[in-house]
Amino acid sequence: MRGKRARDKIFDVIVIGAGHAGCEAALAASRMGCKTLLFTINLDKIALMPCNPAVGGIGKGQIVREIDALGGEMGKNADFAAIQLKVLNSKKGPAVQALRAQTDKKLYEDRMKQVLWSQENLLVMQGIVADILVNQGEVSGVRLNDGRIFNAKTVVIATGTFLRGQIVIGEVIRAAGRMGELPSNNLTESLKKVGFEIGRFQSATPPRIDKRTIDTTKMILQPGDAEPLSFSFSTEPRAREQLPCYLTYTNKKTHKVVADNLHLSPIKTGTVSGHGPRNCPSIDRKIINFPEKDSHPVFVEPEGWQTSEMYLQGLTTSLPVHIQEKIIRSTPGLENAVIMRPGYAVMYDFIYPDQLYATLETKLVSGLFTAGQINGTSGYEEAAAQGLIAGINAALKAKEKEPFILDRSQAYIGVLIDDLVTKGVDEPYRMFTSRAEYRLILRSDNADLRLTEYGYKLGLIDRERYLKVKEKQNYIERMVGRLERIMLPPSDRINNLLASVGTAPISEPVSLVELLRRPEIEVKHIEEFDLGLASSPRELKKQLEIEVKYEGYIKRQLSQVKRFKRLESKRIPDDIDYKKLTGLSFQAREALDRVRPRSIGQASRVSGVSPADINALFIHIERLTRESDQIDAEQDAIPTTI
């Protein structure tokens, strides 16, 4: 029995934390055939959404679709738990359109738990990890706060806001990773002992109010989209009952309440330490930073079918609860609102992410990976993406296989990780479409075409789904060729159709592709001239339309990607001593030595490195290459005796 217990404590991969990052990491590793152990402080809080129970949005919806295309779980989970689905930026170009789902937070948790419980090769256990075990620079396992030791070939830390977590409301500070949950207080010291540089960030969440105490007649209705939508490429979009959201605005009265009580704000008193997310400021911060504004939007959003809790997006605060009540009740439609849960801030430790490789393996400890908010990010989607990549690479490392890396031209996930490990963070990182320079080819609609093959090769996508994606790819190529061959002669009927949509008539035969390239023409306007097109699924027709309309822009971006790839392929020797390169500025030597970029392309993105520094580095590497080639040639010329 003693021997069996010892064997049971040896794993291929251990994952610490069962939030969005930890769940994806554990599922990826176990699905790739690794014996995996997932630790969580509380089994009841797996996949909890402590802030807004929503998935997707601008820049984030693209990430969710990429997670799904690679074989992750977030998209399927969001589809199952969605209570409202909506395409954001629908009137803008396809590069910035993104799906967003308001979800039922309990349904989201419950389904993810079911997936974890039923996953082969995966054991989920409640426990607090106190120490990372390291042997001669390699991770060997973990020690719990009760003294138990579990050994593993690789470990993924996905602790969210729990590292020395503290909750703040007014002047009250409690030790907690989230409201009502124990923090992880010892793990930070374990990481410091190894040599990791640790920082401290803070985030916050708004109060939740009782739906029965609000007046929606004073708000603007925000319904979901009527058309069937889904995140997962394997989920059939369906029409569904949806819950509405509402929009209201703060006013001068609201702002006066905040201004009069700013002296009580943890931001002013210094109770809260560490930088918070700049793009999701508290109402206190908004009043401080934008005193000229008379109003700010507040989205009132449901948290589920079986709860009356409503989330107040836009009224994040950690002011004392009695001040929170005054702020809320000064807002139209919320005059009689009752707080069910107060807003609060949370402070937590993170590791500076330039201490990581692009695989999310740490540079200091071989086999140790980190994912999610511990890497200085914010957001469920960013966390899940990192968890997936960390889980994949932890499994590959355990199997002694080559790592998996996505670059900036392949996925938003590649942009996210490259930004973290190359540029570092000075505030919680959040994804935006503006961060992706190749966003036209990194759209939500083509994530499956871009990434499913990788998921299939990794063992996360089954053959049937992979073949469907290949079939979709072939269909689009065939249909483009087909539309190029179908010619329409000028006629009154056709010109009347063109006039009805506000585009110029034709005087000579044109192909359907030429017509579809016109801004005013959509697939629905030409499908009567091709029955094969008319009978195609809606998603495929949309994809085809994008490929045709934006062909020129897509080709231009693909040529930019080729130039990017050339710089990325110019490798920098691992043993290069930047401190001895006198052609570099002092700032560049310091920055490059810290990040240790793998290529000239990555080096060019390191903060503090100028084009002149890159040119000097390039010349140095070229000289090293010539010297190496010369030595090889001389050795080849030496005659050998037998």
Q: What is the mean pLDDT of each run of 10 residues along the chain (642 residues)?
A: 52 98 98 98 96 96 98 98 96 94 98 98 97 96 96 98 94 91 94 96 95 97 95 90 97 95 89 79 91 95 97 95 97 97 95 97 98 97 98 98 97 98 95 94 96 98 96 91 91 91 92 92 86 80 91 93 92 90 91 93 93 91 74 56 46
**Structure tokens that stand for 595 in this block:** 């990040």
State how beta strands 36-40 and 122-126 pair.
parallel
Residue located via tokens 């390239």: 517
Find the helix packing angle between 74-81 and 60-70, rounded to 10°: 120
How far from 166 is each of 45, 108, 145, CA to CA, in Å? 18, 26, 19
239 contacts 340 by C-beta, under 8 angstroms: no
Q: Residue 591: CA atoms inside 13 Å, Cβ hemisphere, count?
A: 20
**Structure tokens that stand for 116 in this block:** 């974890």
State how beta strands 344-351 and 339-341 pair.
unpaired
CA–CA dist 510, 488 (Å, integer): 5
State how beta strands 10-16 and 149-157 pair.
parallel
Residue located via tokens 């310091």: 590
How far from 232 is each of 99, 133, 411, CA to CA, in Å? 11, 38, 16
3-state per-residue secondary structure call for 113-136: HHHHHHCCCEEEEECCEEEEEEEC
pLDDT of residue 624: 80
The model's pTM: 0.94
Handedness of CA 465, 466, 467, 472 (dihedral sign): positive
Within 10 angstroms of residue 599's Cβ, the number of other Cβ atoms is 17
pLDDT of residue 638: 57
**Structure tokens that stand for 562 in this block:** 């080729």
How far from 511 is each of 354, 486, 541, CA to CA, in Å? 52, 5, 17
pLDDT of residue 70: 98
CA–CA dist 614, 572 (Å, integer): 11
606 contacts 592 by C-beta, under 8 angstroms: yes
For the chain, count helices (H), then strands (E): 23, 22
Q: Residue 533: CA atoms inside 13 Å, Cβ hemisphere, count?
A: 27
**Structure tokens that stand for 139 in this block:** 């991770």
Collapsing DSSP to helix, strand or coil, 395 comes out as helix
* Ordered alpha helix ranges (H), 32-169: 60-70, 74-81, 105-118
State how beta strands 510-511 and 487-488 pair.
antiparallel
pLDDT digits (tens, 9 = 90+) for 543-574: 999 999 999 999 999 999 999 999 999 999 98
Question: Which domains are delineated in the chain?
Answer: 2-205+347-457 (3.50.50.60), 208-346 (2.40.30.260), 476-556 (1.10.10.1800), 570-637 (1.10.150.570)
One-letter identity of residue 137: G
CA–CA dist 228, 458 (Å, integer): 31
pLDDT of residue 583: 87
Phi and psi at residue 363, in whole multiples of 5°?
A: -75, -25
CA–CA dist 332, 515 (Å, integer): 49
Beta-bridged to residue 155, according to DSSP, are 14, 368
Closest to 503 (Cα-Cα) out of 516, 491, 489:
516
Within 10 angstroms of residue 141's Cβ, the number of other Cβ atoms is 22
Collapsing DSSP to helix, strand or coil, 56 comes out as strand
Give the chain's end-to-end CA distance (angstroms, integer). 60
pLDDT of residue 3: 36
